């Protein structure tokens, strides 16, 4: 790594981390002002609020605006370099334009890798802490409350041929009063199970059924079996049966992938939203690299208006990127746009923009 690489990377990282730190402080201050009454009502001390909420809120807000601040930071310091004729000096010193962009690519890949690790493993854990705190102390009437029992009946598909239901399921005790399961072959019922009670055994990590009545049907023949207690290893767990709007945000990527497969078997309506979240965890880190290059290509040219003109253009491009991301998500969750395409549309469009900007700037 040569001096020019260290020089640009130093400017890149210091500008980005300072900007994200400054915004995080502002975001925390605004959030405190909005939730002051909730914090007072909770009866928690300052250290408890920090440990149970803000230690998770800070990573969440950083990841939320990570690509945007990468883009703005690159435009800001590169525009300053262009205004001071540093870019001209670098090119005139014998470096090609590709050589000038190399440290930007290295910096973008480094931050993209950092974000990749965060959104796939760190942020889900942070979201679990943050959303639990909010559901208890901030939004107690939300659709998810881990402290209050929720009695309701649920019906779902276990696999392509098996359907099940639990009546009066209690998310607090992880048990239901009646459980039934039917397996079909074509249009015929081939297996039926009924139990007076179903409960989750935490030690065995399995479901325990009581007073079980099983029927196996083979044409005109029928076999009946009765058990007082029966342990079953189903492919669903208590988490899968709880009503949680934040489920996709709280699962690490391997768990989210398994959850998507289970929801597909059940024929759930929110599978597209889960898939978009899964693909976006790969698309967003790539967007960091793309936006880094776009910022360098735009701001490296000295223009009238200096940094102000570059920043104004940067905010417009960032707004277009965010709007495109939102619209593609809506078209996928509410329409027929495949989630594989919806999550990658902003990256693909701006990758084309990067190519044309590079062709123009390289000349």
Q: Say which residue, 45 or 151, is predicted with more confidence.
A: 45
Does position 145 have pLDDT exceeding 50, yes or no?
no
159, 145 contact by CB (below 8 A) = no
Q: Residue 46: its pLDDT value, please?
A: 93
Q: What is the mean pLDDT of the chain?
A: 89
> Exposed e or buried b for every residue in 242-278, given b needs 16+ CB within 10 A?
bebebbbbbbbbeebeebbebbebbebeebbbbbbbb
> pLDDT class for 243, splitting at 50, 70, 90?
low
Question: What are the residue boundaries of the structural domains of the chain, listed by start?
Answer: 3-141+270-362, 151-243
pLDDT at 157 exceeding the cut of 90: no
Q: What is the pLDDT of residues 322-354, one digit of tens each?
A: 899 889 988 888 888 999 899 999 999 999 999
CB under 8 A, 24+ apart: contacts of 143-151: 143/243, 143/244, 143/245, 144/242, 144/243, 144/244, 144/245, 144/246, 147/172, 148/172, 149/173, 150/242, 150/243
């Amino acid at each position: 790594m040569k001096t020019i690489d260290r020089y640009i990377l130093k400017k890149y990282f210091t500008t980005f981390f300072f900007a994200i730190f400054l915004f995080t402080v502002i975001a925390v201050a605004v959030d405190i002002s909005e939730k002051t009454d909730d914090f007072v009502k909770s009866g928690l001390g300052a250290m408890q609020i920090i440990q149970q909420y803000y230690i998770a809120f800070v990573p969440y807000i950083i990841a939320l605006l990570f690509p945007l601040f990468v883009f703005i930071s690159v435009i800001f310091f590169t525009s300053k370099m262009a205004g001071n004729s540093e870019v001209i000096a670098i090119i005139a010193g014998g470096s090609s334009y590709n050589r000038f962009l190399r440290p930007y690519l290295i910096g973008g890949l480094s931050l993209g890798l950092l974000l990749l690790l965060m959104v796939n493993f760190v942020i889900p854990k942070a979201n679990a802490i943050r959303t639990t705190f909010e559901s208890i102390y901030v939004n107690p009437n939300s659709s998810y409350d881990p402290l209050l029992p929720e009695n309701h009946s649920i019906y779902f598909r276990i696999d392509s041929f098996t359907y099940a239901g639990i009546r009066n399921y209690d998310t607090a005790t992880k048990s239901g009063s009646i459980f039934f399961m039917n397996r079909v072959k074509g249009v015929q019922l081939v297996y039926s199970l009924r139990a007076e009670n179903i409960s989750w055994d935490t030690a065995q990590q399995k479901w325990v059924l009581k007073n079980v009545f099983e029927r196996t049907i083979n044409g005109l023949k029928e076999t009946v079996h009765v058990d007082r207690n029966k342990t079953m290893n189903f492919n669903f767990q208590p988490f899968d049966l709880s009503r949680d709007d934040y489920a996709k945000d709280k699962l690490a990527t391997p768990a989210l992938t398994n959850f998507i497969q289970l929801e597909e078997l059940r024929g759930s309506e929110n599978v597209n939203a889960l898939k978009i979240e899964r693909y976006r965890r790969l698309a967003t880190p790539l967007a960091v690299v793309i936006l880094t290059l776009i910022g360098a290509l735009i701001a490296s040219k000295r223009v009238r208006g200096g940094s102000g003109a570059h920043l104004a253009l940067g905010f417009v491009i960032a707004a277009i990127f965010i709007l495109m991301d939102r619209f593609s998500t809506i078209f996928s969750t509410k329409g027929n746009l495949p989630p594989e395409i919806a999550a990658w549309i902003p990256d693909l469009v701006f990758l084309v923009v990067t190519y044309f900007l590079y062709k123009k700037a390289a000349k």
